[in-house]
Amino acid sequence: MAASPKAVVVISGKRKSGKDYISEQLRNKLGPDKCAVLHLSGPLKKQYAKEHDLDFEKLLDATAYKETYRADMIRWGEEKRNQDPAFFCRLATSGEDSGKDVWIICDARRLSDVEYFQKNYNKVTTLVRVQADTDTRKQRGFVFTQGVDDAESECGLDSGVDWDVIINNNGDQKQLEDDIHKLLEHIHL
C-alpha cells in the first residue's frame, strides 16, 4: 500500500460538473505544499496511450482528440478493472505526490474506487459529490454522448454512496464558497 496521508478527499461528479475546478480550489485553500491532486484517470490514460501508440498529453486535455478515444478508453479501462478493481487506484497513489499530507482524488467514477479508499484509508476519507445541472454543464461544453454518459464511468456513483459533502457548482459563487467551507470543516486533519 502507498503512503499514509492524514486526509483523503474522494471527489465524484458528472462530466463538466467541475471536479477539477473544485479540486484545485481545495488544494489552494489547504496549501499546495501539503496537498496533492491525484487523478485516477491519469494512469489509465498513460497506459492506454502506451498500448495504443497515442499522444498521452493530448489524452489529458479537454480536446476532441480525447473525445475521439473516450469510448474505447472506457471499454479498455473496464477490462483492466475487471481483472483488478484497484489497479488504477494503486497506480495513482504510488507516485511522487503520494507523500503529501492530503490527497484529493479528483475523479472517482466507480464504486470500486470509493471502496478502495474506504477500505484502505477509512478513518481519513471524505466522500464528496460535485453536482451541476445539465444546463450549467452544457454551458461548460457538455454534450451527451451515448455509450459514455450512460456508462458506468458516468453513472456508477449516481446512487449507493453516502456522500459526506455535496458541492453545488451551478455558478452561484456564494453557494460554492459555503459548500467548500463545509468540506474544509469535514476533512479530518
Assign residue 16 the CATH number of its domain: 3.40.50.300
Q: Which amino acid is at 59?
A: L
Q: According to the annotation, is 70 in a ligand binding site?
A: no
Structural domain contains residue 61:
no
Whether 51 is covered by a domain: the verdict is no
Distance (Å, whole) CA 158 – CA 143: 19
- The answer to whether 14 is a known ligand-binding residue is yes
Amino acid at 143: V
76-117 tens-digit pLDDT: 988 988 899 999 899 899 888 888 999 999 999 999 999 999
Tell me the per-residue pLDDT of 141-182, one tens digit each, with 9 for 90 and over. 999 989 889 988 899 999 999 999 999 999 999 999 999 999
Distance CA 138, CA 176 (A): 19
Per the domain annotation, does 180 fall within a domain? yes
- Domain of 144 in residue numbering reads as 7-42+95-186
pLDDT at residue 71 greater than cutoff 80? yes
pLDDT digits (tens, 9 = 90+) for 11-63: 999 999 999 999 999 999 999 999 999 999 888 888 899 999 999 988 887 67
Alpha helices in 53-172 (DSSP H): 56-60, 64-83, 87-92, 111-121, 134-139, 152-155
46 is in an annotated binding site: no
The total number of structural domains in the chain stands at 1
Helix, strand, coil percentages (3-state) for the chain, rounded to 5, are: 50, 15, 35
Q: Over 70: is that where the pLDDT of 189 sits?
A: no
The reply to whether 19 sits in an annotated binding site is yes
Cα 162 to Cα 128: distance, rounded to the nearest angstrom: 9
Q: Is 99 annotated as a binding residue?
A: no
Q: Does 28 belong to an annotated binding site?
A: no
Note whether residue 99 is domain-resident. Answer: yes
Q: Look at residue 30 in the predicted model and tell me its pLDDT.
A: 95
Q: Can you say whether the dihedral through the CA atoms of 173, 179, 182, 187 is positive or negative? A: negative
Question: What pTM does this model have?
Answer: 0.88
Q: Is 18 annotated as a binding residue?
A: yes
65 falls within a domain: no
What's the grid cell of residue 31?
496549501
